[in-house]
Structure 1
Amino acid sequence: ALIITGASTFIVGTTTSNIVLDHASNAFSNSVTMKAGTSGNLAFGNIGFVDSAAVVIQTSADTNANGELLIDGSTDGVVGGTLSIKANGDITQNIDLAVAGTTTLEAGSNAITLNRPDNNFSTVIITSGGDVALRDAGAIILGAATVTGTYAVTAGGAVTNSGTQEITGITTISASGYNVTLDETTNNFAAAVKITGAVVTVVDENAINLGASTVTGTYHVTATAGDITNTGALIITGAST
């Protein structure tokens, strides 16, 4: 484990190299800078980071603050491989993120807020989180998610899921003009599901409650072992099943 009181800097000297600091007992009491190249002029491969406190993904210009993670490459905040962050506190950002590989986030019952408008993710897995807010300038794939609070996803492209969505609070998906496909058979939405999208498909292994939704295409809802109810207005242009 790394128990570091002062500021830390980790530098890789070749492009697309990895920095993985993922011991479960890591504790950084000051800022952590990850550099691709001595002057931050190269590209990252994979990044992994575990901290015993909250994590703020910050610009490389900001330093010496507890909980700050600085991703300093040829373009700050760009990760050419995977990004994995585990925090014993909130996970937030003050810089846009562009992650080519899978992003995996774990925050226990704490909040995860990665909702800057120019983010660009591929697949996002939420291992654990309280209230979770994600935003992507384009399409986004929702990997397996365990969320004990609300789950809000905003996308400038299609929203699909590749893993089970286990959501305790209200789910809000905003993808105006784009398709929303949440069709994993083991999805479990315990509270209302609100969707803005074109062609929309939602599956729940139990009952499902439909919150206020605006769908400009078709709307297909499956509740495998329970009722379908709605607590908000459903504005549906296409056929509904």
Structure 2
Amino acid sequence: MTALISTKSPTTTFSVLHLDGTTDYMVSQRNALLAWTGHTLSVSPRISRGLSLAHWGSTHLTGRGLAALSSPGQVYQVTLAEGEEFVAHPSHVVAYSVSRNPPLPMRLKSNILRLQVPSITGLLPETAFLKAMRDTSTYKNLSRWMFALRTSLRRTIWGDRLFLQFRGPTTLLMSSRGVRVADSLTNKEVNEIADAPAGVVPEAVELTTKPKLEATPAYTEQPPSAIHVANVTRDGKVNFEDAKNLKEFVR
């Protein structure tokens, strides 16, 4: 049997993980595991509750066999000896060997000032005037600007401070590019999804899969066209006659 395996992104790298039965591996990225083979190879899902929600899912590999992995960018193997430590971002960790020292979540220290953008709608009471103002273009533009400001502040000031701390002896498979939403969606598409009201997306999907049939106009019978015949006599008089069809005119 021959199988051809591919990914949607052209910037991914394939790697084959060989398990000899002495060392188990944990695939941290949810979409990294593509295929595996081996009669004694066991694959089981795991949940890492110590990490953020985006990095909860992981897969535990144990036994003997081969596993095909894919990750964005180039894959590098990092081997830690006894007593060595290594800190990496979860989005760049493809897989790691299971040892007596599991990876620990670690957060970088941030500034002591808590800079936040307050929600104005939560401070004001719900009135008919505010409901009408939400439908105006001024309110929508202001809310869009505040949302962009909050997003930029989170990226520049706070950032994603969650990392993983590994201790040797262990082996890591690292990718040069992290898995991000920006790799599949642009900023414009994200804003369109966020601004879309509830119930619009299913209707749009149904309209795309099953487009509405164009209504054909009802056939209306056209009135028969008449032929006007003019006869000129010798004395200069003109007589007009109506012929219903061409046969009467020829006759």
Query: Which of the two has greater strand per residue?
Result: 1
What TM-score does the superposition give when structure 2 sets the normalisation length? 0.20
Higher relative contact order (CA 8 A, sep 6+): 2
TM-score between both structures, scaled by the size of structure 1:
0.20
Bigger helix share: 2
Larger-Rg structure: 2
